[in-house]
Amino acid sequence: MLEIRGIYAPIATPFTVDSKELALDKLREQLAFYNSTNLAGYVVCGSTGEAILLTWGETERLFDAVAQSTDSKKQLIAGTGVDSLLETIERTKRAGELGYCAALVRTPHYYKPLMTEAALLNFYLRLADASPIPILVYSIPQFTGVEVSPKLAARLAQHGNIIGIKESSGRLDVIRDLVAATPKEFRTMVGSASIVEPALKVGACGAILGLACVLPELCALLFDLAQSGDAKAAEALQQKLEPASKKCVSDLGPAGVKFSMECRGLYGGPTRGPLLGLTEAEKHEVREILAAYQPAASHSA
């Protein structure tokens, strides 16, 4: 079974200044920096990457560009989930052709009242049957209104091509219940930087963090400290990362991540509508928060 472990950055999609086109040259610059860090790999076209605001043509170009620019030691996970099962299958197959090791597939949600556990079970099992690469289930109920319960995760874990879940509610009790309900080889990933250290304690294998786009070195260090058994240092770093996690990622979303990257000397660029950029007051607050992470936040791309 594919080993998923460590900290993964959900790549922020760079647009040109008018947000109409992909800025692939800037993407390659981002990856040159990330490749030099201890990140385990990248997720392409996730929530931080504004996946739902991209055309399929743009998505495919991003998959290809990242695959061409990634260090061979880094794992690549493709965000392929859309509400249509057939299109999700096609996107996942294309990611497999481009060399991605797994697909991260969010829950379909438009017909929310009809997205019962039976419907979700059918969706993921049929996808897993058709997919050439392993599937990671993506539960992000704060965006979709649809949650993958530990009971459903346990049923999905019985399929050999469904290898884990990214749980992004930020609730430690949910992580704990998922770990308890699923086999040891089923990989539970955290989607919130605010609970990484305690989640690793209860059995999570790693995290996919918007904050890792901004502070990849410190996010990777947090994982390493937790795995080495240095609980005191891991807890201290977890606490130190909390302000940036809350404001730059949770509160401000992709725009907050992108502006935070700009503060590091990386290209973030604009978000795409309907998302708005930050106000001057929000920018000031982000700068003040990131100042606490010097010299880690002094990279110049």
* DSSP codes joined into one string, 218-262: HHHHHHHHHHHT-HHHHHHHHHHHHHHIIIIIIITHHHHHHHHHH
Cβ distance 127 to 135 under 8 Å? yes
How far is residue 92's CA from residue 102's CA, in Å, rounded to a whole number?
A: 9
Widest pairwise Cα distance in the chain: 50
CA-based torsion, 293, 243, 16, 95: positive or negative: positive
Query: Considering 26, 166, 258, 283, which one is annotated as catalytic?
Result: 166
What single-letter DSSP state applies at residue 270? -
Q: What angle do CA 278, 279, 284 make, to 5 degrees?
A: 95
Look up 166 and say whether it is catalytic: yes
Task: Tell me the catalytic residues.
Answer: 166
